[in-house]
Structure 1
C-alpha cells in the first residue's frame, strides 16, 4: 500500500542518546533470557555428577531440562501477540521481569527436578514474551541510521547473558548462581521503567500528543512534526484494516516477509547453535583438550559476545546480505572440521592426541563466523519486515517457530550423539548451513538504510527501481 508522502526529505540531526538508553535498558531482559538459556551448560554437568540427591539427573532428563524454556516460550509468544498491542511494548517488556525473577528464586531453592522443570518453563514464558516485545520496540523507536546497531543489540545482550551465566555458574554453586542472576531482572525493572513508549504504538492507540513528546525525547529534537506525520500516515495505512493472523499469508508483502524470516531463523537454528549453547561444556569434555572445559566454554562465549558486538557496529555500513553470506560460509567450514575431527577420533584407529586443540579452534571459528551475521541479523530483521497491524502476530509466529526448531535440533543433537556418534550432528549442521546460504543469495533483500515504510513498499514491489524490477517478476 503506497503512502502519499516523501520519506527521503532531509531532517535536522538530533541526539540519539535516549534511543541508546531505551535499547540498552530494554535489552537487559534479553540478558536474563540468555542467562536462563545458558544455565544448562555449567549446571547440567554438576547435576549429572550428583550422587544420592533429589536433583540427580541422567542425560535424557538433562536434555529435557535444557529445552524446557523453549517449550515455555511457545505459550509466552502466544500471550505476547495480544499483550503488546493492548498494554504496549514498554509495559510488556517490564512485565517479563517478574517471571524471570521468580524462576531464578525457584532454581535457587529447588529440592526436586520437578521444581527445576517448572522454573525453567516459567522462564521460557517470559522469554517468548521478551523476544516478541523487545525487537518490536527497538524497531519502532530507532532512527533508520542506527536501527541495525540497536536491533543487533538484542543478540549481543542474549550472548552476554549466556557468557555471564557460564562465567558465574562454572565457579559458584547452583544456588548462589541463581541468586546472583536474580539481580538482573530487578535492574531491568528499575531502569527501563523511565524509558519512553514506542511512538508507533501511541499513534495506533490515538495518543498523538504523547507520541510527539516521545519522539522529541527519542530524537533529541523539538521539531518532529514531519516524522510524526510520516508515522501517522504509515500507521493509518497499515492499520486501516485490523490485522489478522491470516493477513501474514494473504497479503503478498507479509507472505514474502514470513518466508524470509522462516528461512533465516531456520538456517540459524539448523546450524546447531542452540544445541551447542546447551552442551558446550560437554562437547569440550568429549574433545579431551588440555584446556579445562569450563575455561574453553567461557572463551567460546566471550568470542561470540565480542563478535556479535562487532557485527552490531558494522551492520548499518556493511549491510545485511554480505554479512549473512560470510557468516554461513565460514560456519559451514568450521562445523565440517569439527565433525571430521570427531569422526577420525571415534571411527578410525588414527591417533588424534596431538590434535586435541582442533575441536576448540573449530568451535571458536564457528562462533566467530556465526556471530558475524547469523546470530544477530535474523532477529534484527524481525523488527524491520512487518507492518504495524500484523507485527505482533509475525513476531509471535517467528518465536514459536524458533522454539520448535531449537527444541527439535537440541533433542536431535542429544539423541543422534548418543546413538550414532557426535560427528553425525556436526555434518548435518554443515549441510544445513550450505542450504541456508543458497536461500540467502537468492531471496533475502537488503534493508540497510531503509525506513520501515520503505521496506514495506519494497516487499510489495512498489518502491524504487529495484522494487519495480522485483514486482515485474513476482506472482501474487
Structure 2
C-alpha cells in the first residue's frame, strides 16, 4: 500500500497544530514588547496580561464539546476548515486593538478556534492512516505545534508586534488553501452511509489499485458493533477506562507546567539572569522542541507509548527540580547556563512524550461511536487544566517564588506520572 499520500494528507491536515502553536507562542515575545510600550498605545498591568495569556486556554476549553459533536455531524475536515474563519477574525482583533479588552477578546477567540485542532488533528490522522504508521502520523501534530511555537518566538523577537500579528493572520489562509484538497476520513463517510465516498477516499490514500474491501469491512464492523444508545456506549467499561486514562494523561500534560513555560518563557529567562538575551533563549527553546520530534517519529511505533511516557515523566521531574534548585541556591553562583539547559531538556522530553501522546492515545482507544464525544470531553478538561496553570503561574511566582513553583511541577511529574503508568498497565 502507498504511504506517501497518507503522509501528505497527515502533514497538511496537521497544519492546524501549526496555527495552535503560533497562538500559544504569541504571548512569550509579546509580553516584553507590550510591557515596553512597543506593541500598543496602552500598557496592560501584570494582572491584565495574565488574562491575555490565559484566556486563550479558556477559549479553547469552551469549544471542544460543541466541535466534537459537529465533527460527528459535519465531518472532521469541514469543521477543521470552517474554524479558520473565527481564527483569522481573532487575529485581526489582536492586530487592531486600541484597548486591552480587544486583545483579551482576540486571545479568547483565537483560543476558541485553534483549541479544536488538538482533538480533530489526531482523529483525522488516525482515521486516514494504517495501523502500522499511526504513531508516525500522530507525531505530525507535535511537529507542527513546536514549529508554530518556534515561528512565534523567532518572528516575535525580530519584527514589530503589528507585523507579527499580520503574519499570524495570514498563516490560517495558507492552511485553508492546502487542506481544501485533502480527503475527508473514510470512517466518517462509512458512519454516514456514504460507502462510495469512503471507497474514493481510501483509493486516494492507499492507491487507485489498492484492495480496500478489507478496510471498508473493518470500519463497517466496528461501527455496527458499537452502534448502541450513546448513554450505553458511554457507560461501557472500555469507554470508562479509556476516559480514565485519557483524562489522567491530559491532567499530567498540563500540571507539569508546559503552558507556563511556553506562555511565559521570555520572562522566565529574564528572571533567571542567564547572561544571554531572553529572546535568544526562547528561540533556542523552540528549536529544541522541534528537534525532539525526530526521535519520536522514528521510534514511537517500535518502543511503544508507555516507555516514552515513563522516560519523559522521569526526565521532566529531574529538570523541574534542578530549576527549583537554581532559583533557590544557585542564581548568584555564575551558572547561568543551568536554567537554559534544564528547560531545554524539559522541553525535549515533553515533545518526545507528553506533547502529543495523550492526544494520540485518546484518538486510538475509543470506539468510533463515542470517539468525538470522548475526545471533546478530554479536550475540554485539558484546556481547563491549562487555564488553571497559566493563570496561577504568575501568582505562584509572586507569592511562593520560582523555586517552590518549579518544585511543585516536579512533584506533579513524579506523582501523576507514576499514577498514569499504573493506569495504563
Q: Do the aligned residues in 2 keep the contact of 1:152 with 1:379 (CA within 8 Å)?
A: no
SS in 1 for 2:367: coil
Pair 1:242–1:135, CA change in 2 (3 A)? farther
Query: Are residue 196 (structure 1) and residue 189 (structure 2) matched?
Result: no
Aligned with residue 418 of structure 2, among 438, 442, 446: 438
Which string of whole-angstrom CA distances, capped at 9 and with x for unpartnered residues, describes residues 32-58 of structure 1?
111011100000111122289643112
Superposed displacement of residue 418, structure 1: 0.8
TM-score (norm 1): 0.86
Aligned to 2:87: 100
Q: Do the aligned residues in 2 keep the contact of 1:342 with 1:423 (CA within 8 Å)?
A: yes
Pair 1:151–1:401, CA change in 2 (3 A)? same
Aligned to 1:299: 284
Q: Do the aligned residues in 2 keep the contact of 1:138 with 1:383 (CA within 8 Å)?
A: no
Aligned to 1:151: 138
Query: Are residue 388 (structure 1) and residue 388 (structure 2) matched?
Result: no
Q: Do the aligned residues in 1 keep the contact of 2:3 with 2:206 (CA within 8 Å)?
A: yes
Measure the CA separation in 1 of the matches of 2:97 and 2:39.
16
Aligned with residue 344 of structure 2, among 358, 364, 369: 364
Aligned to 2:265: 280
SS in 1 for 2:321: helix
SS in 2 for 1:355: coil
Measure the CA separation in 1 of the matches of 2:405 and 2:314.
18
Unaligned runs of 5+ in 2: none
Superposed displacement of residue 156, structure 1: 1.6
Aligned residues: 424
Pair 1:202–1:242, CA change in 2 (3 A)? farther
Measure the CA separation in 1 of the matches of 2:115 and 2:369.
20
Q: Do the aligned residues in 1 keep the contact of 2:39 with 2:161 (CA within 8 Å)?
A: no
Max Rg structure: 1
Superposed displacement of residue 345, structure 1: 4.8
Superposed displacement of residue 169, structure 1: 0.5
Q: Do the aligned residues in 1 keep the contact of 2:57 with 2:386 (CA within 8 Å)?
A: yes
Q: How does 1:235-246 map to 2 (within 5 A)?
A: 235-238=223-226, 240-244=227-231
Aligned to 1:453: none
Aligned to 2:256: 271
Q: How does 1:4-403 map to 2 (within 5 A)?
A: 14-50=1-37, 54-220=41-207, 221-238=209-226, 240-244=227-231, 247-248=233-234, 250-345=235-330, 351-352=332-333, 354-403=334-383
Superposed displacement of residue 210, structure 1: 1.0
Query: Are residue 404 (structure 1) and residue 384 (structure 2) matched?
Result: yes
Q: Do the aligned residues in 1 keep the contact of 2:34 with 2:40 (CA within 8 Å)?
A: no
Superposed displacement of residue 242, structure 1: 4.0
Superposed displacement of residue 128, structure 1: 2.8
SS in 1 for 2:353: coil
SS in 2 for 1:161: helix
Measure the CA separation in 2 of the matches of 1:25 and 1:55.
38
Measure the CA separation in 2 of the matches of 1:385 and 1:98.
31
TM-score (norm 2): 0.96
Measure the CA separation in 2 of the matches of 1:55 and 1:387.
50
SS in 2 for 1:101: helix
Q: Do the aligned residues in 2 keep the contact of 1:308 with 1:375 (CA within 8 Å)?
A: no
- Bigger helix share: 2
Measure the CA separation in 2 of the matches of 1:115 and 1:208.
46
Aligned to 1:6: none
Pair 1:369–1:218, CA change in 2 (3 A)? same
SS in 1 for 2:364: coil
